[in-house]
Chain A
Amino acid sequence: MKKFELNLFLNPVTAGFPSPASDYIDKSIDLNEILIKNKPATFLVRALGDSMINAGIFPEDILIIDKSISPSHKNIVIAILNGEFTVKRLIKEKNKIILRPENNKYKDFEIKEEDDFKIWGVVTFVIHNPNL
């Protein structure tokens, strides 16, 4: 059960004068609310490797995945390709599906019919520690 948090300013009556800030009570910013749109379908994974650095995904970054979003053209996705997980940009062209790395060192991978290919989820946010 989600804990219900209320921001209440309880001014003790004996204090006499209410805090002038109490008119400006706002809900505090909740990162969960910003980063997680659909809790049961949201998973965290850790990225390793450098094939996506031009998309801002660095080794050790945490990726937020929403499995309830249906993947569209140019989304960064977690795919399962022949039994292995991978992070790539999804390119849907006429009759082609391409997994595109975001680093010039690597080449596009076009999905062939014989490939066992599935999209596991769409990457919605990247958590990066700039001091690491």
Chain B
Amino acid sequence: MKNIFALVDCNNFYVSCERIFNPKLENKPVVVLSNNDGCCVARSNEAKKLGIKMGEPFFKIKDLVEKEGLKVYSSNYELYGDISNRVSETLFTFSPDIEIYSIDEAFVNLKRIYTNSYEDYGRKIRERIFDWVNIPVSIGISPTKTLSKVANQFVKKDKSFGGVLSLINKSEEEINELLKNLDVSDVWGIGRQYSKKLYAENIKSAYDFKYSNPKFIQKIMTINGLKTQNELKGVSCIPLEYETPDKKGICSSRSFGKLTSSFKELNEAVSTYTTTAAEKLRSQNSKCKKITIFIRTNHFRTNDKQYANSKSYNFLEPTSYTPDLIKASKFLLKQIFKENYNYQKVGVILTEIINENEIQNSLFNIDTLQYKNNKKDLIISKVDEINKSLGNNSIIFAANGIKKEWKMKSEKRSDRFTTNLNELLKISN
């Protein structure tokens, strides 16, 4: 069976999430800022028309708030994460063959779907996501993931496609016409570094790339470049990845609201991120064997002394017990912390993650029950329960600090409408 990939991409995702609960943002210029309210990470079409660029620092566009009625929001990751899950769940009503590629993108393999027109089927997907979750999406459909990405980019640029473009019944010439109009750096998997080298060889468009000498492509881009080239030719080389994020590492890190050189503040931050990461770990019923802490200064501040370091610790037994993880994180931080540096970022990475069931299977003996009833697991599950029913941070770990002077700025965050009972949308009637 031939693959048929639909790339479903949420339009201006964070802005669209804000609009679900705030109809007044419809047709208005809206941006969402990164962690710390630093720069724009999402823009409504109206904001794009004002000339606001992706990644533009907020201070540069501050005057547009007054002048153009620009609406500005801090990132509300609780909301965006929840809405992203809803979009995925809606997609699963169409096909089980789905790869959640990022918070706002998913590949769906439609090879098992019988339809006269994939374009119509794409429209059905699009309508359902909009009806159920109010998120507008763009869909590109083709025999390869890379071409679906291409199709999707054109859907986004050109309203006349009505949100869906299928290349399934398009001729080679028609597809080439699209590829001629696409910069090689905009091809999925090529990126800025490689495109510089390709430009130098006069390979400028996706079309140029498609018909370049494969030996040359492999030489500068390894086998992956060859895969991309074949995918542009319609030969599927990159399959769906079903692997859930469960297996990968869990990372929790943010930049600080202000730079800090205090061990106490760093330690509170590390403990807090460890707590968050451990919660994530437990929510997917897993434990980790390894914890890594990293810290770094702000390398943009060229006048500051620069320092970055990281260190890991291996646990004897897999754990998800927050106090153990905090203890390890403090131990590691002590080793890499140096006085008199202005630190900008710390983070925690949990790796070698194992599902709890796997642990039990491998220890199928008398200890299993003991293991299951492990007091630590019990205590921490109660903490999770309480935090779930009374709201996050009802029970906190003292190591995380109370004041959190290091905490990042998010002054313009909307309510967490879908994940916090105290912040539900209020409807006056």
On A, residues with C-beta under 8 Å from B are 1, 3, 38-41, 43-52, 57, 62-63, 67-68, 78, 80, 83-88, 101, 118, 120
Which residues of chain B are within 8 angstroms of A52 by Cβ–Cβ distance? 429
Whether the pair B23, A80 counts as a contact (CB closer than 8 A) is yes
CB-based contact B89/A39 at 8 Å? yes
Q: Interface-forming stretch among B126-134, B184-192, B289-297, B301-309?
A: B126-134
B134 CB to closest chain A CB, in angstroms? 7
Any A CB within 8 A of the CB of B428: yes
Given contacts A40-B132, A62-B424, 10 further A-B contacts (CB under 8 A): A1-B244, A40-B89, A41-B86, A41-B133, A43-B425, A45-B426, A67-B131, A67-B132, A67-B134, A87-B427
Q: Is the CB of B132 within 8 A of A68?
A: yes
The answer on a CB contact under 8 Å between B132 and A41 is yes
Given the interface pairs A40-B90, A67-B134, the reply to whether A49 lies near B284 with Cβ below 8 Å is: no
Docked Cα-Cα span, A50 to B284, in Å, equals 42
Least CB separation from A52: chain B residue: B429
Assess whether B131 is in contact with A48, with CB atoms less than 8 Å apart.
no
Contacting pair A87 B90 (CB below 8 A): no
B49 is an interface residue with CB less than 8 A from chain A: no
What residue of chain B has the Cβ atom nearest to residue A88's Cβ?
B429
A44 touches which of B23, B85, B132, B424 (Cβ 8 Å): B424
Show 25 residue pairs from A and B whose CB-CB distance is below 8 angstroms, ordered by the A residue: A38-B132, A39-B86, A40-B87, A40-B90, A41-B133, A43-B418, A44-B418, A44-B421, A44-B424, A46-B424, A46-B425, A47-B429, A48-B426, A48-B427, A50-B429, A57-B429, A62-B424, A67-B133, A83-B23, A85-B23, A85-B427, A86-B428, A87-B429, A101-B429, A120-B134
Size class of the contact patch on chain B = 20 to 34
Q: Are A46 and B132 in contact (CB under 8 A)?
A: no
* B285 contacts chain A at the CB level, 8 A cutoff: yes
Contacting residue for B425 out of A38, A85, A118, CB 8 A = A85
- A38 partner residues in chain B, CB cutoff 8 A: 132
Q: Tell me if B133 and A40 are in contact (CB < 8 A).
A: yes
In angstroms, Cα B418 to Cα A118, docked, is: 21
B219 at the interface (CB under 8 A from A): no
- Within 8 Å CB of B89, what residues of A? 39-40
B67 at the interface (CB under 8 A from A): no
Q: Which residues of B contact A46 (CB under 8 A)?
A: 424-427
Report the Cα distance A6→B227, complex, angstroms. 44
Q: Determine which residue in B131, B132, B424 has the highest number of CB atoms from chain A within 10 A of its CB, and name it.
A: B132
**A131 CA / B253 CA spacing, docked (Å):** 43
Bound together, the chains give a CA A51 to CA B429 distance in angstroms of: 5
Complex alpha-carbon distance, A109 and B6, angstroms: 43
Give which listed residue, A40, A49, A120, contacts B429 with CB less than 8 A. A49
> B60: CB under 8 A from chain A?
no
